[in-house]
Amino acid sequence: MPLYLMPGNHDNREAMREVFPDHGELGKGPSCDFVADIGALRLVGLDTLIDNEAGGDLSANQLEWLERTLQQKPQRPTIIAMHHPPFTTGIGHMDEQGLSADAQAAMERIVSVNPQVERVTCGHLHRNISRRWAGTIVATAPSVAHAVAFDLRPGAHGAWNYEPPAITAHHWNGSHLVTHQIGSGDFPATRYGM
């Protein structure tokens, strides 16, 4: 199974490139954007990192690159992976350090005219959140570390907790993408009817 790396808001691009020299998707430029054709799917990675800041952004060059990249293979089912989700979540302190409003609007404009985008997958909130957006589904992944506490009250202070660690796995069955959440731990299977 191929592994592709994407910096989050606490990462350092140069350190990642030094530690993972065999990961060409990290590139050598100012961002770690990449495209990879994996079987029937296309994976587009967008680097939303702003050095030494919690919030994220996409430059005009990145947005133009995304638009060109999506236009290259309009029939190929595509997943876009990025750290900061392109929408507000209702968790106020995290929305304050989310993707910039300009980048959110530009992403929505681009993705809404590219129906091959099956999913936009994100991190940042360390919890599973999904939303219908720009004609597709955006889903944030849970974390194998801590989770951002679920608190939708206006003005709530930021907090985190140790919800059970989990990951998401995306499965392409030849006609559509299905996303599963997989908890970490030893949970023996029990057969029905026994």
Q: Report the CATH number at residue 139.
A: 3.30.750.180
Q: Is residue 18 part of a domain?
A: yes
- Spatial separation of the C-alpha atoms in residues 29 and 188, rounded to whole Å: 46
- For residue 1, CA distances in Å to 4, 41, 101 come to 10, 13, 35
pLDDT at residue 193, as a whole number: 75
pLDDT at residue 167, as a whole number: 94
- Spatial separation of the C-alpha atoms in residues 46 and 83, rounded to whole Å: 8
Q: Which residues of the chain have pLDDT under 70?
A: 194
Domain ranges, residue 63? 13-183
Q: Is residue 125 part of a domain?
A: yes
pLDDT at residue 189, as a whole number: 80
Alpha-carbon Rg for the chain, nearest whole angstrom, is: 17
pLDDT at residue 194, as a whole number: 58
Q: Is residue 59 part of a domain?
A: yes
pLDDT at residue 1, as a whole number: 72
pLDDT at residue 142, as a whole number: 94
Q: Take residue 1 and report the two structure tokens written for it.
A: 């199974």
Q: What's the pTM value of the predicted model, to 2 decimals?
A: 0.93
Q: Is residue 139 part of a domain?
A: yes
